[in-house]
Amino acid sequence: MKLRQIVSQKKRVGEFEELPREIVEKIPDCRDDERVVRAYELMHRLRREKDQVIGDLSQLTEYGPSEPPHRSDAEVDAQKLLAGEELASISGPDVATARSLLIRRLDALQIAVPASECRVQELCVTVIQENSEKIKKTAEFFEHETLRAFSQLLTALQKQSKFYRLLSQRGFARGARPNHWQLINIEQILLFGGVGMYNLPSIEYHIADRKKHWKFNGKKE
C-alpha cells in the first residue's frame, strides 16, 4: 500500500472515533476496488486522448480529400480502445491522410469515452451492492440500536403525556401550574406528528416505516 493511501486511511478512521475501531476498519472503501480503479484509469486516459485528438485536428488547417471512416470502423476501433488496446500510430505522408486518421480516432473516441463512463457507473453500482451485502449485518446492528432508542423515547413520551393529563384531571390547570409542565412543540410532533410547516410523521410511524424497509417486522428488537 502506498504512503498516501496509508495516511488517507488513517485520516478516514480518525473521523469516526465514536464507532468501534474494528467496525471502521472492516468497512471496505468501494473506490479502492481494483475493477473500479482500472475502469477510472481507462476512462480518464480516453478523455485525455480525445482532448489531444481534438487539439491535433485544430492544428491541421489544410483540408484535402479524405474518405471518412464507416461507422462500423469507429465501433470496432472503440471496442479496441475500451479493451485497452492502442490504435495504429497516427501518421501520414500528407495533411489529408493525417486528418483522415485523426477523424477516425476521434470517431472511435466519441463512442469509447461515454461507453467507459457507463462502465465506471455500472462497476461502481456492482461493487457497492456486493460490499453492501458483506456489511449487511453491521448496518442492521446500528439500525436496531436506533430503533431501540426511538422505542424507549416513544415510551418515555407516552408516559410523560399521560402524567400531564393526570395533572390536568387532578386540577393542576395549565395556566396555574409551572408553564413548562406540558409537552413542548418537538415532543408533540414526535408523539403525534406535525401539521403545516411541521408536517412530519410521528416517531411511532417512523419506527414502523423503518422496520418495514429493513424487513425487521417479526424480529426481536
Domain ranges of the chain: 33-133, 136-214
Q: 157, 203 in Cβ contact below 8 A?
A: yes
Residue in the block written with cell 386540577 = 171
8 Å CB contact between 82 and 42:
yes
Kindly list the distances between the CA atom of residue 158 and the CA atoms of 84, 146, 208, in Å, as whole numbers in the listed order. Answer: 64, 18, 17
Confidence at residue 164, expressed as pLDDT on a 0 to 100 scale: 95
Tell me the C-alpha distance between 153 and 74, whole Å: 63
What are the pLDDT digits (tens) for 56-74? 888 775 544 444 544 557 7
pTM higher than 0.95: no
Predicted confidence at residue 4, as pLDDT, reads: 46
Q: Which residues, including other chains, have CB under 8 Å from residue 193's CB and lie 6 or more apart?
A: 200, 201, 202, 205
Indicate the Cα dihedral angle 99, 104, 105, 107, nearest 10°: 120
Q: What is the pLDDT of residues 128-183, one digit of tens each?
A: 999 999 999 999 999 999 999 999 999 999 999 999 999 999 999 988 999 999 99
| Region of residue 184 (left: phi > 0; alpha: psi -120 to 50; beta: else) | beta
- Provide the 10 A C-beta neighbour count for residue 107: 20
Alpha helices (H) along 83-202: 95-134, 136-169, 185-192
| Residue 175: CB atoms within 10 Å | 5
- Please return the burial class of 144, using the count of CB atoms within 10 Å of its CB with bins 0-12, 13-18 and 19+: middle
Q: pLDDT-derived band of residue 81, with 50, 70 and 90 as boundaries?
A: confident
For residue 169, give the amino acid letter: Q
